[in-house]
């Protein structure tokens, strides 16, 4: 396939702003500025919304010291969006791209972003406008198909593992106040983040004690039985549940005719109190799940940004950059490409082998998969030995008896 000669490039960011999304932007920009075939390098603010509204900035005119700093900066420097293009938008978008002589388009995002790129290319082709575009993967949900993992996931996985460890320590400092904790994760229909919460678990009694992944229907009686078992054994229980848990009829937990927004964690806390009389509290990290950076994750996000530019200049089109884990000593990934037709409207779920037979805890296979992605080893916190002080009166009595 022939490549373009001397044309402009535009880069956008879309979806939830991960902790390493800017690293991909930096990787793409730094690769693009080195190649003479690319003239203007523009950023569309707030993704496709900026494209539709002529909201572009000149990335070549930014201070040179900005880019090394953005490499370490979370969130989306260009601004992000969850807007989905309508059929009418597609024609307008191509008109704007033609107006700015855009021959290369890079879009950093998840499945919705990949779909937007694919639809834009189809519209451009129908109009006879030559444009090449590549999707740069990004999502903490880790649910894009055909890639070993997604940039953004390793950082969120580290955050959730540490959060589970730390909130349990806080809970156990005053266990009488709330002996049951429910943590709700993001992840849509895939349980990758739920599983990540257990990466700090070294012993059976370490938290979390139960996982609820969205791939498997929630059975209330089984759940309550397991909670009771753990509580009787330990005196406390930590549960991590996906936001997208559904019951055996496929209905989201907590969703009622009168309230469609009740969270999974709220619902679980309610039934624990009603049926077990358990004083349960819940945490919803929400956007905090985007706030931690794994150096491994950041470096790979930069890499896929770089490789997206190389792919465009090699004549590739309508594709997403992937990460391919190498079968070698130590952890290493190389990049690949997959056609966007194989990505759009598809999700990659947590494999059965990553959870135990009861589907409520991770296996060694998941540890092997996920630990390399989160960077430095998780901390091991010390605990006091419960060595009781002997009763002083008894000691004095024993001393008298010895003397007599």
Residue numbers annotated as active site:
141
Query: Do the beta carbons of residue 304 and residue 119 sit within 8 Å?
Result: no
User: In the chain, count of helices (H) and strands (E)?
Assistant: 12, 11
- Looking at residue 60, what DSSP letter applies? G
Query: Do the beta carbons of residue 361 and residue 207 sit within 8 Å?
Result: no
If we measure between CA atoms, which residue out of 21, 53, 12 comes closest to residue 298?
21
CA dist 165 and 206 (Å) reads 8
Query: Do the beta carbons of residue 350 and residue 215 sit within 8 Å?
Result: yes
If we measure between CA atoms, which residue out of 256, 401, 298 comes closest to residue 25?
298
Reduced DSSP (H G I as helix, E B as strand, rest coil) percent helix, strand, coil of the chain, to 5: 40, 15, 45
Give the DSSP letter string of 324-384.
EE--SSS--EEEEEEEGGGTTT---PPPGGGB-TTSSSB-HHHHHHHGGGG-SPPP-----
Other Cβ atoms closer than 10 A to 42: 20
Peptide bond before residue 208 is cis, with ω within 30 degrees of 0: yes
Query: Do the beta carbons of residue 199 and residue 161 sit within 8 Å?
Result: yes
Tell me the CB-side half-sphere exposure of residue 126, using CA atoms within 13 A: 10
């Amino acid at each position: 396939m022939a490549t373009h000669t001397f044309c402009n490039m535009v880069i956008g960011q879309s979806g939830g702003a991960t902790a390493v999304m800017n690293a991909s932007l930096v990787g793409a920009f730094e690769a693009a500025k080195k190649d003479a075939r690319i003239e203007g390098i523009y950023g569309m603010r707030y993704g496709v919304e900026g494209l539709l509204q002529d909201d572009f900035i000149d990335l070549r005119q930014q201070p040179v010291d900005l880019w090394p700093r953005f490499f370490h900066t979370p969130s989306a420097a260009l601004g992000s969006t969850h807007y989905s293009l309508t059929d009418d938008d597609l024609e307008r978008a191509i008109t704007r791209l033609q107006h700015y002589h855009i021959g290369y388009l890079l879009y950093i995002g998840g499945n919705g972003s990949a779909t937007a790129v694919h639809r834009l290319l189809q519209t451009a082709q129908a109009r006879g406008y030559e444009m090449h575009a590549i999707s740069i993967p990004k999502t903490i949900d880790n649910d894009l198909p055909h890639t070993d993992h997604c940039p953004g996931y390793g950082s969120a996985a580290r955050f959730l593992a540490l959060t589970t460890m730390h909130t349990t320590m806080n809970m156990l400092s005053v266990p009488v106040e709330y002996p049951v904790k429910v943590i709700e994760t993001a992840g849509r229909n895939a349980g990758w983040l739920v599983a990540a919460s257990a990466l700090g678990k070294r012993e059976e009694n370490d938290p979390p004690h139960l996982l609820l992944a969205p791939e498997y229907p929630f059975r209330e009686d089984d759940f309550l039985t397991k909670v009771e078992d753990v509580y009787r054994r330990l005196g406390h229980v930590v549960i991590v549940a996906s936001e997208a848990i559904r019951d055996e009829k496929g209905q989201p937990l907590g969703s009622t005719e009168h309230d469609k927004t009740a969270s999974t964690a709220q619902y679980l806390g309610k039934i624990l109190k009603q049926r077990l009389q358990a004083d349960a509290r819940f945490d919803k990290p929400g956007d905090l799940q985007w706030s931690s950076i794994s150096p491994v994750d950041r470096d790979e996000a930069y890499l896929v940004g770089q490789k997206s530019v190389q792919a465009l200049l090699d004549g590739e089109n309508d594709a997403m950059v992937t990460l391919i884990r190498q079968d070698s000593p130590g952890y290493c990934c190389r990049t690949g490409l997959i056609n966007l037709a194989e990505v759009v409207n598809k999700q990659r779920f947590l494999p059965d082998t990553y959870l135990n037979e009861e589907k409520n805890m991770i296996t060694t296979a998941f540890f092997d998969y996920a630990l390399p992605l989160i960077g430095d080893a998780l901390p091991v916190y010390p605990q006091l030995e419960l060595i009781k002080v002997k009763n002083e009166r008894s000691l004095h009595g024993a001393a008298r008896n010895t003397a007599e």
